[in-house]
Amino acid sequence: MLGPAFPATLADAQGGDELAFAAIFRDVQPVLLRYLHVIAPAAAEDVAAETWLQVVAGLTGFSGEERAFRAWLFTIARHRAADWGRARGRRPTVPLVDSGAIEMLLAPDTADVVIERISTRAVLSALATLPRDQGEIIMLRVVAGLDAADVARIVGKSSGAVRVAAHRGLRRLADVVDRSGVTL
């Protein structure tokens, strides 16, 4: 997140400053893509592109701080992903054992030869195998940095239900990690 620099960056972008907009894009896009890889893995880049088109169209009308901006953006992304899902039929869930996530966790990442760590790709693959609500909520809370109230509004659940789903998803992820034997 841009932190204290966000208000000025947003104001500049709303005024037409391309560099300011690029700064916002570069800050959000990695997280947005990773989120979409969990909820719309076959079309993450396309859905992200559609999301940014809508963000650009509504940028000057937005008012709020950084977390509110992310909540707005991820709400748009979720709707675009839902449109994609409706157009292409329900995404089949992949059982964890068939997802390759465990194998990914066990195989050394090309960028982490010396230290065994969970690679980004492996974590995303593991998240994508969770029930849709669990993986999505974890991404919005932990990765996108949204608070519980924002996540509850985005996914249309109560804060309590969000917390329960998140806990269940985290336990499953922790179980995958334990089974893989990966350490820091």
Please give the residue ranges that form the binding site for another protein (CB under 8 A): 11, 13-16, 18, 21-22, 25-27, 29-31, 33-34, 45, 48-49, 52-53, 56-65, 67-69, 71-72, 117-118, 120, 122-124, 138-139, 141-145, 148, 163, 166-168, 170-171, 173-175, 177-178, 182-184
* Residue 46 or 91 having the CB closest to another protein: 46
CB 59 within 8 A of CB 9: no
Other beta carbons within 10 angstroms of residue 34's beta carbon come to 18
Task: State in angstroms the smallest separation of the CB of 23 from another protein.
Answer: 11
Task: State in angstroms the smallest separation of the CB of 34 from another protein.
Answer: 5
Length of the chain: 184
* Residue 67 or 132 having the CB closest to another protein: 67
* Residue 21 or 84 having the CB closest to another protein: 21
DSSP 8-class letter at 119: -
* Residue 25 or 94 having the CB closest to another protein: 25
Question: From CA 79, how far away is CA 55, in angstroms rounded?
Answer: 12
Task: State in angstroms the smallest separation of the CB of 29 from another protein.
Answer: 6
* Residue 60 or 93 having the CB closest to another protein: 60
Give me the torsion for CA of 146, 149, 153, 156, rounded to 10°.
Answer: 110
**What distance lies between CA 119 and its chain's CA centroid?**
16
Task: State in angstroms the smallest separation of the CB of 48 from another protein.
Answer: 6
CB 131 within 8 A of CB 123: no
Question: From CA 32, how far away is CA 51, in angstroms rounded?
Answer: 9
Q: First and final CA of the chain: distance in angstroms?
A: 25
Task: State in angstroms the smallest separation of the CB of 180 from another protein.
Answer: 9
